[in-house]
Each structure stands twice: as structure tokens, then as C-alpha cells.
Structure 1
Amino acid sequence: MPPAMTVTGPVEASALGHVLPHEHVFINLLAEYRAEGLLNDQSRMAEELALFRRCGGGTLVELTPAELTAGAAPDPLGLYRKIPNPTPGPPGSRAAANVHELRALSAETGVNIVMGTGHYRDPYLDKNWFDQTSVDEIAEGIVRDLTDGVAGTGVRAGIIGEIGADRWYVSAAEERSFRAAARAHNRTGVPITTHAARWPVGTAQLDILVSEGVDPRRVIIGHCDGVQIPEYHRDLARRGAYVQFDLIRGADDWDTASRVRLVVGMVRDGLIDHVLLSHDVCTVKQLKTAGGWGYTFVRTRFAELLVEAGLEPDEIEHILVENPRRALTGA
């Protein structure tokens, strides 16, 4: 298998271990979550990653778009600490210091971190820039992050995303972002992962990517468990895409049981190869150090519940290790 690109360099597929394919380490979501939407404490996040490592975790895919990082996101009131960015890139380019912090955390904790690139969704997109910039120019910036590294760092992204749609449709700016991501993928072979929350918009997202020549087997449709429509999940999987249940946080018993049913249903329908599991940690209250489950719930309690629901341990290992390894490397 080809290696996966992490913030510390290429890592052989066999060394990735248990992979969380959709998470955040540093993120600024203050525009939507006033009190909880800021993860920017490096020491605290080091402890969260160490807890993941101690429960058997190996790799975390960090999908914070630059529009949501502290070095690039709007901060009119100065609510979060400043991260200097001496070599700013175009809109949607990560701050160099943010990337250096990710690399330092990976080295400190031993957790492999695969970093994403690309653009997020409305209303975070810079509409004027998208209106004035061609799809190929946008794609060129994504390719640079994947092949040369984020400006001022030499650290290469290893996945395209999360790119997304805010509503039940893909807006004009979002479509331009998706087409740019597809063209960057076609030049690099790097997988694409999406944000498709609350509505079954993953179908439209996949249609756009396929129209640009992307193989559905290289596409991860995210937040599928936010849309509790099993037929939607099966349709995506049968087209070849990965169906990612990534809002697994142990919020309450009903919430967790519904996700157990979704996973078991996919497995029983012969679609185990298309299932990915993660938490999408993005607020303070979700951290284990704040009383939540952090990055550990999938590997621990959720895996136990899958066994109780009838899955075999080797089936769970297939979902947690083999599927994300294949999604990241294409092999």
C-alpha cells in the first residue's frame, strides 16, 4: 500500500492503526457556538490526543478548514489568542503557526495527524474571492498544499476537505469549491472528504465530483448519521463512496443506539467496506477533559455496543482500521 501523508511526513499504511477519519484539534467556531466553539489550547489538546493514544488510537484526520482556524478566521472582537502568520497565503490558506502546532502535537503524543486542505462551506466562504477566482486557480492552491506544503511550513496536507454544503443544495460558491477539489484530486490522487450535515446533500456533492471525473471510491461523504435515512446511506455506498458516521459522541443513550443501528444495518446489507466512524470533536464540552468522551468513545464504549448488537470483533476492526486505511491510501 502507498503511504499516507501526515504532518510529520509519510507514514506506511500498515502503521496507521486505528484511524479517526473526521476530527478537529484547533478550530474557531465562535460564530456558531459562542461559549464552546474554540479549541486553541495546545496543552489541553495534547492531553486529549494522549488519551486517544492510550486507548489504542493511532491516527487522527484533522479536517479544520483554514476558514475556521485561529490564524485565518475573522476575529473582530479579538476573542481568541493571536497566531502570527508571517507568510499568509490566499483566502482559505492555513496559518503557518497553526500547522507548526499540529506537527508539534503529533511529535509530542505519537498520534499521526493527517491534515486537510480545501474550503469549507457557506457562510464561511469568501464570496468575492470565489466570484473572482477560477476553478482552476482555486484547485492550484489546494494542489500546492498537497504537493509543496502549506506556505511557510513545508508540511503537506494528506486529504482534501472537509469541503461542504451548508443547506440541502450546493450553492454556486460551494459548487466552485467542489469542482476545484475534484480537479486537485485528479492531479494528486488524494481522497476527498465532505461536510453533508442535516440534509441528504451528499448525493448532490457526489454528483458534482463524479462529473469532474472523480472515482466515488475516493470520496467520503461526512456527517451521514446526521441524516437518519438508511436508504440514503445505502445509495451512496452502492455508488462506491464511503459513508461516514462521524457524530458519534455518546450524547445520550438514544443518540448512541440510533448510530449503532445504522452501522449494524450497513454491515448486514453487505456494505461494511464503505463504513467509517468518527466523533467530529469541535467544541470544548465534547473534550474528555471537560467531561465528554473526546477522541475515545468510538474505540471504547461504542465498539462494545457494536459487539452487544451482534458484530464480530474482526468486523469492528475492519471498520476502524482497514476501511480508513484504504480511504486514505486508495489501496
Structure 2
Amino acid sequence: MYEQRPVHPLRTVSGPLEAARVRGPVLAHEHLALDLSSGGDPTAVLDDRHRGAVTAELAALREEFGLGLVVELTCRGMGRDVAALVRISRESGVAVVVGTGWYYERFHPAGTAGAGVDELTEVLVREIEGGIDGTGVRPGVIGEAGSHGDAPSGQEVLTLTAAARAAKSTGLPVATHAQLGRGGPAQLELLTGAGLEPHRVSIGHQDLLDDAGVHRELAAEGAYVAFDTVGKENYVSDDARLRLLLALLEAGHADRVLLSCDISRYGYLTSKGGTGYGHLFRSFLPRLRAAGADDALIDLLTRRNPLRFLTGGTSDDEEL
């Protein structure tokens, strides 16, 4: 019933975009508009009060670093606001890809529990093919599809399986949320067990897991390993992130790495004293260069890898 097929071109909130036209870096896991306050934290919000600051940050990064694309992984139950994303993209001049799917169980919206895999899959396929909430804007990624703990809960098994089936049907990739970096191998086993090829999967938040062996395991299986909370030193220091990233690069897996900052509350914005969306470019990448990374490697990590992930490519042979 569900045949896997690649997605070309990229699906952005402003319409189709050929990957070859993205010449600058990509932020592979960000949030530009979300509301996670239902989880008990009123600061886990980016709404209309912050839209100007978000837009200004992206515009400045486009001017300074050539930022070409943001992968926005606010999905169902996370306060997704497609109209806001369209405005932010238009006003900043930065292309935005929007996600669909279900975050981890705590944030599943009403009606998710009790639905079977077939029903959940059809919900995603309808949204991917027909657009979100009548806007006509079509998701370009399934994510961040979540679980918490070393293995998904029963409900998370259903939503992750639906994500895999919808990905096979529509050609979209799946980007996961692995709570504090845990559970990545179980996520990958579930998704590939449902028939999704590993190169269509990005396992999230692996820079929060101080286990280079797990990172190598995921990359060797063919999945992307997301170091996507760069700058969140209240969780893990950037020193540790750099050490773990260098270990993965030295193991020969540079083509499996995705990088981003996962800005997920207004306190992370530079206007609020936070590190902002640009921390990757202004702080972390210079340190990676000092450790020996050249321009070609930086381009691989920040542009070619995420574009290959989004379009389903299996090698760097495509004109990216």
C-alpha cells in the first residue's frame, strides 16, 4: 500500500524549491513558532510577541552567513503556526520547511490516543498531500517525531510507526526527538522495521548523549546523527559536543551529521540574552575549524547533508 519514493524538489512554506538553489547553510532542527506551555513551562513559547525578533535574527544570519534554509520541526501538538512561518520566511528572506507528525507522548493532542496505526498514517498522508489546516502549505519533513526513554511507549510506537508508513508513502524523511538523546537505537529499529530506509531518518538530540559508540552505531546503520542542540550548555557543554562530533568525524561518518541549535523558547533569542539561532555559526563552527575542519567539511555538515536528508539522496553525487 505504501511505496517509498523520493521528494524533489524541497517543499517549503512558500512553495517548491530546488535543492541546488540553496547555496548557503541549513539549520536542520529549529523552532520559529511553537507553544509547549501545556507541559508546565510557560517560557517554552515562541508566538506573535516574538515573531519580529525571530525574523530579525534569521535576516541577519542570511546577510552575515548566507543562511539558506531552516527546517522547522514544530509538529502536531506543539503549537505549530503555519501562517506565522509563512510571514517569517517572507520577511526574513530565508526558506522554511515545516514538519508534521507527533512529538513525544506528553504532548500528543486529544484524539491521538485510541487511534490505530492506519488511522494515524492517513492523518499524516492527508496533511502531507493536501496541506496543513486548509492553508495549502505542505510539510517537507515528518518531525520531530518523538519518544522518551530508552524505548518508545506504547502510544509512541503507534505514532512512530505511522510516521514511517507516511514517509514511505509520500517520500518525506523522518526527523526524531530522542528525549535527552536517549532511545535513538530503538527509534531507528522501529522505523526501519516498518520499512523505512535508514538514510531517510535523522535521530535527534544525539549531542545530549555522551556515548560515541551509539553515535557510531547509528551512523554505521545509515541514519543521520543530529547534533542539534548546539549552545544549550545548561544540558551539555559545547566542549563535550565538540569532542563527540570530532569522534564521529574521525570514525569516518562526516556524511551522517546534521547540525542545529533547537531554539525552543523565547529566552534563547538573542534579544532576550540567549545564544540565538546564530550560535552554530558564530561560536561552534569557528571552534570546529580550529580543530581542523576545512571549508568543504563545513559545507558538507551544514548544507549538503541536510539537503540530501530532505530530498532522499543516497550519495553526494547530486548537484548540491
Same fold (TM over 0.5): yes
| 1:210-258 deviations in Å (ceiling 9; x for gaps) | 1111000100000001111000000000000000001101637x71111
Whole-Å Cα distance in 2 between the matches of residues 145 and 18 of structure 1? Answer: 28
Classify the secondary structure of the residue corresponding to 2:214: helix
Whole-Å Cα distance in 2 between the matches of residues 44 and 126 of structure 1? Answer: 28
Listed as ranges, the matches of 1:140-159 within 5 Å are 140-159=122-141
Whole-Å Cα distance in 1 between the matches of residues 75 and 89 of structure 2? Answer: 18
1:136 aligns with 2:118: yes
1:116 aligns with 2:99: yes
Change (3 A) 1:33 1:248: farther
Deviation at 1:300, TM superposition (A): 2.2
Alignment-mate amino acid for residue 117 of structure 2: V
Maintained 8 Å contact 1:4/1:10: yes
Partner residue in 1 for 2:3: none
Whole-Å Cα distance in 1 between the matches of residues 117 and 89 of structure 2? Answer: 33
Alignment-mate amino acid for residue 45 of structure 1: V
Which residues of structure 2 form unaligned runs of 5+? 1-6, 314-320
Deviation at 1:31, TM superposition (A): 3.6
Maintained 8 Å contact 2:33/2:84: no
195-204 vs 237-246, greater mean Cα deviation: 195-204
Maintained 8 Å contact 1:249/1:286: no
1:205 to 176, 187, 205: 187
1:246 aligns with 2:252: no
| 1:98-140 deviations in Å (ceiling 9; x for gaps) | 2122111111111110000011112112476321x22111111
TM-score normalized with structure 2 length: 0.90
| 1:68-93 deviations in Å (ceiling 9; x for gaps) | 10xxxxxxxxxxxxxxxxxxxxxxxx
1:36 aligns with 2:52: no
Deviation at 1:293, TM superposition (A): 2.0
Maintained 8 Å contact 2:181/2:207: no
Maintained 8 Å contact 1:197/1:224: no
Maintained 8 Å contact 1:246/1:276: yes
1:53 aligns with 2:62: yes
Deviation at 1:148, TM superposition (A): 1.3
Classify the secondary structure of the residue corresponding to 1:55: helix
Classify the secondary structure of the residue corresponding to 1:123: helix
1:107 aligns with 2:90: yes
Alignment-mate amino acid for residue 167 of structure 1: G
Alignment-mate amino acid for residue 261 of structure 2: H
Listed as ranges, the matches of 1:268-287 within 5 Å are 268-287=250-269
Poorly superposed stretches of 4+, deviation over 6 Å:
none
Deviation at 1:51, TM superposition (A): 2.5
Partner residue in 1 for 2:217: 235
Which residues of structure 1 form unaligned runs of 5+? 70-93
Classify the secondary structure of the residue corresponding to 1:311: coil
1:298 aligns with 2:280: yes
1:63 aligns with 2:73: yes
Partner residue in 2 for 1:6: 12
% identical aligned pairs: 38
TM-score normalized with structure 1 length: 0.87
